[in-house]
Structure 1
Amino acid sequence: MEAEGLDWLLVPLHQLVSWGAAGAMVFGGVVPYIPQYRDIRRTQNAEGFSTYVCLVLLVANILRILFWFGRHFESPLLWQSIVMILTMLLMLKLCTEVRVTNELNVKRRFFAAADNKDEEIKVPPRRSYLDFDPHHFWHWSSFGDYVQCVLAFTGVAGYVTYLSINSVLFVETLGFLAVLTEATLGVPQLYRNYLHQSTEGMSYICRTARERADVLMHEQMC
C-alpha cells in the first residue's frame, strides 16, 4: 500500500530523471565546445583549433543519422547528432570569419585602389569545394563553401543509403563507419599540435569532456 501511495511521487521523479539523462546525452557532446568557441571569439585567433575536427564530426554524425534510417536507435542520440552538426557549422563559421579577417589584415598592406597604376592589385583567389588540392581542401575563404561541401556529401551519401537501405550489410557498415570516423576525432588536432609544436589555444575542457561523451555515446549505440 505504501508503495502504491508513493507512485504519485516516484513516477514524475523517474520521468524527470529520464528527461535529464536525455538532455545530458543530447547536449553533453556540445557543451565542451562552448569554451572553445568563446575563446576563439575573444582572442580572434583560431590557430589552436583544427577545423578538421569539425570535418570528422560532421561526417560521423551525418553517417549516424543515415544509419538511423536503417536501424533505429534511441532518439536522444539522433538529436545529439543534429545538435552536433549545427554546432560544428557554427564553429566553422567562426573559424572561417576569424581566419579570413586575419588574412585580410595582412594582405591589406599590399592592396591598392583600382585606379592606382603604380601598385599591383592582389585579390585572394576564391576556393570552391570542387578544389580537391590537399593544400586547399577544407581551408576555404567562405563559409558557404563548407556548407556546399556538407550538402553535397549528405546528398550523395543519402542517395546511396536510399538505394541500399534494405541491405543489412550496408546498414551495419554505415554504423561501423560512423563510429570509426568519430574514433579518429583526436587525429586532426594531434597533427596540428605536432606541426605547431604547441597545444596553445586548445581547450583542455573540450578535450576531456568530449572523450567522456564519446564513451557514453558508444555504449548507448552498442
Structure 2
Amino acid sequence: MDTQKEDMEGLWSLLSWLASCVIVFGGSLPYVPQYQEIQRSSNTEGFSTRVCLLLLIANILRIFFWFGKQFELPLLLQSVVMIITMLAMLQLCCNIQQANRVSTKQHHFTDLDLRYFWSWSSFGDYLLFCFAFTVICALVTLLLLDSVLFVEALGSLAVLFEAMLGLPQLLQNFHNHSTRGMSVKMVLLWTTGDVFKTAYFWINDSPSQFWVCGAVQIFIDVAILVQVLHYGQDLWVKLG
C-alpha cells in the first residue's frame, strides 16, 4: 500500500514538473517556426511587432508584480523566457527591415516622436525603450510596494495586456469579414493552450489576476473560432 502511494506521489510530481515546463516554455514555442519562416523568407509582413510590445510590457509588469505578491516560480520564469523571445523576434525583424530599407531616413527612440513610436530604425532603440520602461517600473514599485492596492493594480494591468493579445485579431476579422490564413486547427490549438494555462492557474491557486486573464483569453479564442467557422461557411456558400 505504501509502495503504491509512493508511486502515485512520484507520478504526480512528474506530471507537475512537466506542467511547469509547459508553462515556462509553452508560450514561446509558437514563435520558433515564425522566427524560422521570417529568417527563411526575409519578409516580416506576416508578423506585427506590436505583439512584441504588448508581451514585453505585460511580462515586465508581471515580474514586478512578483515582488509584491510572490506567485509560482514557473510563472516568473515564463515571463523571463517570453521577454527573451520577444527581443529575439524584434532583433530579427530589425535586421531584415534594415536590409530591405530603401529610405535612408532614420527614426530613433530618443527623437521622442510619437508618430514613429515602435517603428524605430534599430534594435538598440527597442532595447533602450525596454530599459527605460523597466527603470520607471522599478522606481514606482519601490516607492509603492507596501500598498496592497498598487500591487493588485499592477498585477491586473500586467495580465490585461496579455489578455487583450487576441483582441486585434478578433476586430480585424470582424472588419474584413474574413479569416483568411486562419484555420480551425490553429484556433483550437490556441484555445487548448489557454485552457491548460488557466487550469494550471486554478489548480496552483495562483493570484486571481492570472485565471481571470486566462478566462478572457479563452473567451476571445472561442469568439475567433466562431468567426473562422462562420466566415468559412460563407466562403463555401459562395463557392457553391
| TM class by smaller structure | 0.7 to 0.9
1:56 aligns with 2:54: yes
Unaligned residue ranges in structure 1 (runs of 5+):
108-123
Aligned to 1:118: none
Tell me which moved more, 127-136 or 203-212: 203-212
1:129 aligns with 2:109: yes
Whole-Å separation in 1 of the counterparts to 2:108 and 2:65 = 29
**Does structure 2 conserve the Cα–Cα contact (< 8 Å) formed by 1:63 and 1:175?**
yes
Tell me which moved more, 85-94 or 186-195: 186-195
Distance 1:161 1:207, change over 3 A: farther
Give the % identical residues: 50
Question: 1:150 is aligned with what amino acid?
Answer: C
1:35 equivalent among 33, 36, 57: 33
Displacement of 1:46: 0.5
Aligned to 1:65: 63
Whole-Å separation in 2 of the counterparts to 1:189 and 1:98 = 24
Displacement of 1:7: 3.9
Displacement of 1:74: 1.0
Aligned to 2:163: 183
Aligned to 1:161: 141
Describe the SS at the equivalent of 2:109: coil
**Does structure 2 conserve the Cα–Cα contact (< 8 Å) formed by 1:32 and 1:205?**
no
Describe the SS at the equivalent of 2:111: coil
Aligned to 2:227: none
Aligned length: 202
**1:66-102 per-position Cα deviation (integer Å, ceiling 9, x unaligned):** 1111011111111111100000000101111111111
Whole-Å separation in 1 of the counterparts to 2:22 and 2:145 = 30
Aligned to 1:4: 2
Over the aligned positions, Cα root-mean-square deviation in angstroms equals 2.9
1:91 aligns with 2:89: yes
**Does structure 2 conserve the Cα–Cα contact (< 8 Å) formed by 1:53 and 1:188?**
no
Describe the SS at the equivalent of 2:79: helix
Aligned to 1:111: none
Unaligned residue ranges in structure 2 (runs of 5+):
209-240
Whole-Å separation in 2 of the counterparts to 1:67 and 1:210 = 25
Q: Which has the larger radius of gyration?
A: 1
Whole-Å separation in 2 of the counterparts to 1:161 and 1:197 = 43
Question: 1:27 is aligned with what amino acid?
Answer: F
The structure, 1 or 2, with the larger RCO (C-alpha pairs under 8 Å, 6+ apart) is 1
Aligned to 2:153: 173
Distance 1:92 1:205, change over 3 A: farther
TM score, norm. by length of structure 1: 0.79
Aligned to 1:46: 44
**Does structure 2 conserve the Cα–Cα contact (< 8 Å) formed by 1:29 and 1:210?**
no
Whole-Å separation in 2 of the counterparts to 1:140 and 1:212 = 35
1:20 aligns with 2:18: yes
Distance 1:74 1:206, change over 3 A: farther
